[in-house]
Amino acid sequence: GENVEQHPSTLSVQEGDSAVIKCTYSDSASNYFPWYKQELGKRPQLIIDIRSNVGEKKDQRIAVTLNKTAKHFSLHITETQPEDSAVYFCAASGMRDDKIIFGKGTRLHILP
Amino acid sequence: DSGVTQTPKHLITATGQRVTLRCSPRSGDLSVYWYQQSLDQGLQFLIQYYNGEERAKGNILERFSAQQFPDLHSELNLSSLELGDSALYFCASSVSRGEGEAFFGQGTRLTVV
């Protein structure tokens, strides 16, 4: 069935450095790849998304890249700040049904 | 505020009991998704409805069922509850089917004792 693998499960970076989170998906029919951020005790919220006809998308300090051939996509956060500390989830959808399948999440710690 | 409303916010119940979780989607959204989030776990997809019709099913237990009503609100029914069913249950809604931003409710924290 459909599966989304996400790595690493935990990531600690120094404030100001960059963070990279990687995901792979199994269903080649997937064509929409959102990233959600979940702060402690709060609901997941969309931070950026990319569709399969685009290889890269950037929004200020956040960028996402997609390699459809390898079925791999990544989230890049530059100049990290304390408020970036949260759990980040990748997801894949647009498959043969309406599912949105999430990865297991990456807990990002920004160290002072 | 995402515009998605889930009730109740917290629920404590005993093993063997049955509960109903309710979700009101954002105005205009036709898709409703249900997810289970256990401690330090990801978002496990349970089931999805579009305009009243079941469209996709995940690893949802037979003890769990859901439906979407004509006014588009949805209910998730959990029966014969076990300790392991304790989790945060999220509902999300979107305009489209499987693509586009999904807006999450604040979740229902279920504790089975």
For B50, name the nearest residue in chain A, comparing CA atoms only: A98
Rounded-to-integer distance, Cα B67 and Cα B70, Å: 10
Of A43, A37, A44, A53, the closest CA to residue A85 belongs to: A37
CA distance B16 to chain A (A): 28
Interval A51-65: pLDDT, tens = 988 899 999 999 999
Give ∠ CA A87-B30-A30 in degrees, rounded to 5. Answer: 55
Residues B35-87 pLDDT 10s: 999 976 789 999 999 999 999 999 899 999 999 999 999 999 999 999 999 99
Rounded (5°) CA angle A35-B97-B24: 85
Secondary structure (3-state) at A93: strand
Instruction: Residue A33: name the closest of A48, A44, A16 by CA.
Output: A48
Signed CA dihedral, B67, B75, A94, B30: sign only? positive
Q: How many CB pairs under 8 A join A and B?
A: 62
How far apart CA B3 and CA B73 sit, in angstroms, is: 13
Strands A62-67 and B53-57: unpaired
Q: Which residue of A lies nearest to B31 if distances are taken between CA atoms?
A: A98
Greater pLDDT, B59 or A6: A6
Contact A86, A39 (CB under 8 A): yes
Enumerate residues 6+ apart whose C-beta is below 8 A from A21: A6, A7, A8, A11, A74, A75, A88, A90, A106, A108
Residue A97 vs residue B52, higher pLDDT: B52
Give me the pLDDT at residue A1, please. 52
How many percent of chain A have pLDDT more than 70? 98
Q: Which residue from A31, A43, A105 is facing B106, i.e. has the nearest CB?
A: A43
Say yes or no to pLDDT of B94 above 70: yes
φ/ψ of residue B85, rounded to 5: -80, -10
Q: How much is the pLDDT for B100?
A: 84
Q: Which of B88, B99, B109 to mutate to test the interface with A (most CBs of A within 10 A)?
A: B99
Of B55, B99, B105, the CB nearest to A32: B99
